[in-house]
Amino acid sequence: MIKENIKKEILKRIRDAEKEHNVRVLYAVESGSRAWGFESQNSDYDVRFIYAHPTEWYISVDLEFKRDVIEYEIVDEIDINGWDIRKALQLYWKSNPALVEWLQSPIVYFDDNIFADGARKLLDDIYSVERGIYHYRSMAKTNYRGYLKEEIVPLKKYFYVLRPLLSIMWLEKYEKPAPIEFNKLRTLIPEGSSLDKAISNLLERKKRSLEKENAPAVPELNSFIESELNRLENYQGSPDIDKSHMESLNSLFRLSLS
């Protein structure tokens, strides 16, 4: 649950960004641990948004040289930045994992009821399960090898490995984009199993801890992680891009600008 005063400040900053850059925000969500469901007491608010310029901005000889992101330095607990709609849809065509997750965020700050709805309707056609598996495997491997092979480890990094591994299990089982909420992904783990109990204990500890707290490694979790990474090491999918859906993305682009 986002505190009302924080939500008001986030909406204010979104409106300020619109005025400063002469854009219209189409969709804004929480994208980090608060959306995933394992935030700490002092976790940042990771706000991401999609925006559109006036139509004339896109009818330009130098369009490819124009800046297509809005970024702000993190000066407090709110981390906020956004992507231009054209950039977002180009990346969506390639099954960009960040945008796919933003479209599924349970915490929505603003929605124009056009862009996100239209993008979700295209999700099953556009999304590549193979690309998703490659992305989540890389994320899990990088965070595990970089942070969790010592005796004392950062607690939050377990979730940066467990979430992608469970997402892969979801992709393999259902052949559709994985939800971003950790509790939904956890349903893939047998309830009451030793692994399930270890995850529950970790969740409780994470929510009581500060963002950067370290603790002894958890052998039960490391064993599961290593087993899954070994299983996935030789995965060879065919992450081709289906070019047939570009006109659907063009239509959504035009509709969102109108």
Of 73, 207, 213, give the one whose Cα is nearest residue 152.
213
175: left (phi over 0), alpha (psi -120 to 50) or beta: left
Of 130, 139, 132, give the one whose Cα is nearest residue 162.
139
Of 116, 131, 100, give the one whose Cα is nearest residue 35.
100
Kind plus residue range of the DSSP H or E element containing 214: strand 214-216
pLDDT confidence of residue 80: 97
pLDDT confidence of residue 186: 96
Rg of the chain taking only CA atoms, in angstroms: 20
pLDDT confidence of residue 206: 81
Task: For residue range 134-190, list pLDDT tens digits in order.
Answer: 999 999 999 999 999 999 999 889 999 999 999 999 999 999 999 999 999 999 999
Residues with Cβ within 8 Å of 82's Cβ and at least 6 positions away in sequence, in order, are 17, 25, 28, 48, 49, 50, 51, 69, 70
Per-residue pLDDT, averaged over 77-86, amounts to: 97
pLDDT at 218 over 90: yes
Average pLDDT, the chain: 94
pLDDT at 210 over 80: no
Q: Worst-scoring range by mean pLDDT, 9-18, 73-82, 163-172, 198-207?
A: 198-207
Of 151, 149, 146, 148, give the one whose Cα is nearest residue 216.
151
The amino acid at residue 159 is F
- % of the chain residues with pLDDT over 70: 97
pLDDT confidence of residue 242: 67
Of 22, 13, 17, 15, give the one whose Cα is nearest residue 45.
13
Q: Worst-scoring range by mean pLDDT, 64-78, 179-193, 221-235, 237-251?
A: 237-251
